[in-house]
Structure 1
């Protein structure tokens, strides 16, 4: 029974589907029949014209809206510091485009084209940010704003050339942060070295940088007219002298010292050489400096006595010659020697009738003549004196003629002869009583190791020849290198031989 029920149900479903299909087809046939037999509507000309006009207006509005939208949406190329951006905007001016792009301009920024210029469909807007530069031009500090992207562009904007020196380099980019820029202009300088003279234009900062760029080596002993760290100046002349130091050994003559010896057997003022002086020899080592081959400095380093000098001894007469007594000639009123008075009397007797002429006769002298007393002892100098041979001062007696003089009744008034006083001879002090400190205070302000370079050394200001001649070489090469006691020992030997003569002025303090 179950299968029969299933078939019955299937038959029912099929029947219902057939009826549904038939119903649909019936309805379609009815609708078609109605359209075929429905009466047609007739359009009037006015209605047709209005309908056509409305259609045209609608079409024009749609097309205008499309055109406006198309014209408002444009693409602009925006370049900021070399970086490009494509911007879609409907702004009409450059200022509005930048505002739509949220770009804020600074006081030193540059915009091309101007802010109030209109924007076209294919326009490009270029923005360059301002850069602050801290300039150092040959040591002069200043600030400047530029709109350049590299150092070279900034130099061109500031008016500097490609031959100038820039630090950072010319091809370095510039950021928006402040940048320090060092600029050095070419300077004409002259360099004199090794026999050459070079004239160049350089952008070196210092003298040392210039010499390094030219591969000129300056040794520590060489002379450089300017310091290596000194900045270069316009038209500066730099001189380099090659200095060589060395030693030179020479054999020099040592002058002989002189001394005097009092001789009581000779008249005062006469001298004679007892011992002839002979110079010695010394080996002296000098330190020399040569600048470009020319000697500029010569300094004595050491001295060795090879042959000691022989001192020259001169005898000086100290004997006093007795004065000749004076006599008064009768009637003359003057005092003369006795032989001269006798000769005058005899001459008057030969010519008794001849009287003296008033125009040629002289009045009697009222000033007595000085007697021929002893001459003062001359002070000997350190140099070798020239021995003077004085003439004997013995007057020749007049030979009287055998005539008889006619005496006159005149009472002579004799005048005593006034002898010239002899200057006192200073008595030398013994060596132990000498004040060497006072002498040193006068000569060198008490500095026993002084060496000023004037050729005199030590507290007593010995010269080298005197120091070596009197045995100073046994103590030191120079007096200033010896001790105070050694200098006094040599000075004592010198004082015993020559007295105060080696110290013409300061010897009075001894």
Structure 2
């Protein structure tokens, strides 16, 4: 080391730097500035023979080494460096692990690049191309935040393995409330327009009436769609047959399209508000009608009243019955010229009926009259009064079946007059009279008792 270099090094250490060991301290000569120019450099040593080329290794940055001439420490360090440089095997052993790390990293990079795939994903017709590391379709959809349900379509299937260049399509299902020719049902479609849904559902739309436009979009919330397909309907009217093709909602609308008019009481064989079916035949009924009013009798009722004053088996009419009268209105119809059965449309009571009142005897029959039983009392009554218990002669003196006068009737135990008593009681009193006087009280008809 030159004097200037030693001074510079001493300056770098500074006053406060620790003292060097004795074998590393510079000599006195080294500290004296030279008074003469330095000697010329020694001649170059001959170049050693060339060695075989060593294997190429990754470059390693090594800090430059500045030779430290003029000190034993610098000499020793230089010797160590030369020794290390001359032994290539140790340096190679030191660099092999670094080369292995670089190789492993290079292999991982190759695998990383091989797992990357370019795919094309179309969601509801909107495509995009991107790179992914997903292994199958399910993982890809999860990574992309695409959720599918039971009514959605994914092609290829969710478990399908992915390869570079695959195309995946997702089509969302949409609910459609479809009313087809009057029948309503809920269906699902992946079409995005009404026209596409009709094709997908197999609905014949030629000539059909649609409640919304064919080009209308279908959102994921769905829509309500009313479809009336074209149908052939035949009408029989006024002796003619007419067939029309229509998408009408009611028979009445189809009838108007056929040019047939209903008037008055005219009607059709099916309800005019019903849905016309394909191939249906409807008959038009021309109806003419009138009204008729008739008076009809109302039968009277019979009112029977139990009377303990009358002998059993005896009935007395206390009030005669009177028939009532009602006014009934009938509708008379003729359908296509054929008269129909009159139809009752109303009634009005003109006179209410009066019931017949009959008293029915419950009193036990009188005891038998010895000597008078077995005679033909019915024949005697028929001769005297015509068999009428309430009969009275023109003079008003005699009455009843056997034409008792009041005095005789009372003498026999009767009350009032005979014509007011039941027939059985009159016969009983007549028998008692016969026991007393024989047939004399009936000079003209008495012989009938023995007939």
User: TM-score, with normalisation over the residues of structure 1?
Assistant: 0.36
Which structure exhibits the higher relative contact order, with contacts defined as CA atoms closer than 8 Å and separated by 6 or more residues?
1
